[in-house]
Chain A
Amino acid sequence: MSADVRRTVDAVWRIEGARIVGNLARLTGDLGLAEDLAQDAVADALAQWPESGVPQNAAAWLTAVAKRKAIDGWRRRERLDERHSAIAHDLASREGGVPGADDVWEPIDDDVLRLVFTACHPVLAREAQVALTLRLVGGLTTDEIARLFLLPVATVQQRIVRAKKTLSAARVPFEVPDPGEWAARLGPVLGVVYLVFTEGYAATSGERWMRLDLATEALRLGRVLAGLLPREPEVHALLALMEFQASRFAARTAPDGRPILLADQDRSRWDHAQIRRGEAALERADALATARKTGRGPYALQAAIARCHATAQSVESTDWAQVVLLYEALGRLAPNPVVELNRAVAVSQATGPASALLIVDGIAASGALRGSHLLPSVRGELLARLGRREQARAEFAAAVALTSNAREREVLQAKSDAL
């Protein structure tokens, strides 16, 4: 029974956690306090629901209990000021303040939006933003976050506690950013979601090549953001990018767990329903950008590249010239050696390995990507296609030595062995 209640409480938290904490944070003006109060309410639920049964409107119950705890705390410290009496009044307007089936649960989307921007506030380090976003916006338990990131639970707990302290010390208001800051503040929000996705899509460490559960969480967060910020082109573009990339999951891994590279994937195994969701999201992003008279942003360009792959019947029939153009546009928007390297790969398909090698050598000469396995692995690939086998083998060996993902190492070794 109690295990069932635990799972039900987790499910309610999953669905309503963000709105419960958002609501409490707006009323108390303190995100840390709001989260503590919500957790105390969850503890009460775990203690009481096995006896009383799960209330009809569990979210309203949790919110009311948390509010009552807020009042009790202030009463104890005799700090019942105006803000607090507003909550007290709100509680008293219910029948005797007893939460029950009659409670109206009318959460406000704006509270969740405030929560998103606060959890991704620039005073926080990226890993703190990630933990807080998954915890508060995604409604994941600390245990779940730890499992997803292969971290000890204590580490995640500590990150969340520290993040709340940092927000409080910096007196970060529980608000959405001012219009002037909007663009600068939206960036980290999208960055957090995409980081969670990429960590799942191409696990940077460990035995596993993909961690689907992480990528699924990121997609869910992306869809939530698209609902909260329906007018933001880059939000839809990020969602499109993730949908396109995730559509290849089933085809990316062989039965024995080996990764299968794009060129070798059975494209009939791609999730075409998901590709269509990606296309719809990208069309939305493009339409919004056009209406604003802005060009495509970095996520829209990446999504457009991903769409070229997702809608091509084969590697050969991919519109590589278009992919090259999109990478050029992306490089102009945000110069980055990884983008440049990807452009080189596209050029090798569009016009051949020799011109691509020039680009790669340019990156190497600049000193960028030193220490990354990406540069030697692409260079090895190009040299192999040019028939320079010895040099190619040396590059693959260098790449093998630099990667920390066991599965990726196998792929590189296999390429080298095939020469």
Chain B
Amino acid sequence: MKFMLIMRATEAAKAAYEEIDFAEVINAMGAYNESMIKAGVLLAGEGLADDLSTAFVVDFAGETPIVTDGPYGEIHELFNGFWIIEVSSKEEAVQWASRAPLGAGSKLEVRRVTDMSDFAGHEDNEYIQKEEGWRAEQAER
């Protein structure tokens, strides 16, 4: 079973983070990542930049998609990174997620990554089939 650990932080948590020595943050994250690599469970993981000039939101509420700058809008929690792990149970995912070196104001939202079993009855759909390969490719980028 694959799970995505989605990291979210409030503005307050981000401000608090900036007080901590960056080297310390890197060390803690590095140790956490290494523990998952050594356990053979980490498949992918990335941090997301806070840099406002490259962030934007596409809103599909209207007839044509509207692109606005900045990821914030009314959202007060910001996605700032993710891990994808492959483990044997939800409980194992809970164990790993609980070990993330995050502080107050940060949250991990953990979701199971869908697999072919979620498309039962539609496996022969050409687009479902194609998407498998395509989605995997995108995930790697």
- Chain A residues in contact with chain B, CB under 8 A? 7-8, 10-12, 14-15, 109, 216, 219-224, 227-228, 250, 255, 266-274, 276-277
Give, as a whole number of angstroms, the nearest-CB distance from B19 to chain A.
25
Contact between chains at B95 and A224 (CB < 8 Å): no
Give, as a whole number of angstroms, the nearest-CB distance from B33 to chain A.
11
A11 to B3, CA, bound (A): 15
7 closest A-B pairs by beta carbon, nearest first, are A223-B40, A11-B91, A227-B38, A268-B133, A220-B40, A255-B123, A273-B140
Contacts of B130 in A (CB 8 A): 266, 268-269
Contact between chains at A14 and B92 (CB < 8 Å): yes
Which of B86, B88, B91, B123 contacts A8 (CB under 8 A)?
A: B91
Which of B37, B43, B95 contacts A15 (CB under 8 A)?
A: B95
Contact between chains at A250 and B140 (CB < 8 Å): no
Contact between chains at B40 and A221 (CB < 8 Å): yes
Give, as a whole number of angstroms, the nearest-CB distance from B75 to chain A.
28
Contact between chains at A11 and B134 (CB < 8 Å): no
Contact between chains at A272 and B96 (CB < 8 Å): no
Further contacts, 12 of them, CB under 8 A, given A15-B96, A273-B137: A7-B89, A7-B90, A14-B89, A15-B92, A15-B95, A222-B40, A227-B40, A228-B38, A250-B116, A268-B134, A272-B140, A273-B140
A228 to B139, CA, bound (A): 27
A-B contact pairs, 7 of them (CB 8 A): A7-B91, A10-B89, A15-B96, A219-B40, A250-B132, A272-B140, A273-B44
Contact between chains at A273 and B136 (CB < 8 Å): yes
User: How many B residues face the partner with a CB closer than 8 A?
Assistant: 29
Contacts of A11 in B (CB 8 A): 88-89, 91-92, 94-95
Which of B89, B95, B129, B140 contacts A269 (CB under 8 A)?
A: B129
Question: Is there a chain A Cβ closer than 8 Å to B124's Cβ?
Answer: yes
Contacts of A227 in B (CB 8 A): 37-40
Contacts of B95 in A (CB 8 A): 8, 11-12, 15
A276 to B95, CA, bound (A): 28
Kindly identify, within residues 9 to 57 of chain B, every residue whose CB is under 8 Å from any CB belonging to chain A.
37-41, 43-44
Contacts of B38 in A (CB 8 A): 109, 224, 227-228
Give, as a whole number of angstroms, the nearest-CB distance from B70 to chain A.
30
Give B53-88 as 1s and 0s: 1 = Cβ < 8 Å from A's Cβ atoms: 000000000000000000000000000000000111
A228 to B34, CA, bound (A): 11
A224 to B40, CA, bound (A): 5
A15 to B37, CA, bound (A): 12
Give, as a whole number of angstroms, the nearest-CB distance from B58 to chain A.
24
A152 to B87, CA, bound (A): 24
Contact between chains at A255 and B91 (CB < 8 Å): no
Contact between chains at A272 and B88 (CB < 8 Å): no
Which of A221, A228, A271 contacts B132 (CB under 8 A)?
A: A271
Contact between chains at B40 and A272 (CB < 8 Å): no
Contact between chains at A273 and B40 (CB < 8 Å): no
Kindly identify, within residues 113 to 133 of chain B, every residue whose CB is under 8 Å from any CB belonging to chain A.
116, 123-124, 129-130, 132-133
Give, as a whole number of angstroms, the nearest-CB distance from B54 to chain A.
24
Contacts of B91 in A (CB 8 A): 7-8, 10-11
Contacts of A220 in B (CB 8 A): 40-41, 86
Beta-carbon nearest neighbor of B119 in chain A: A255
Contact between chains at B37 and A14 (CB < 8 Å): no
A223 to B129, CA, bound (A): 28
Contact between chains at B133 and A216 (CB < 8 Å): no
Contacts of B124 in A (CB 8 A): 255
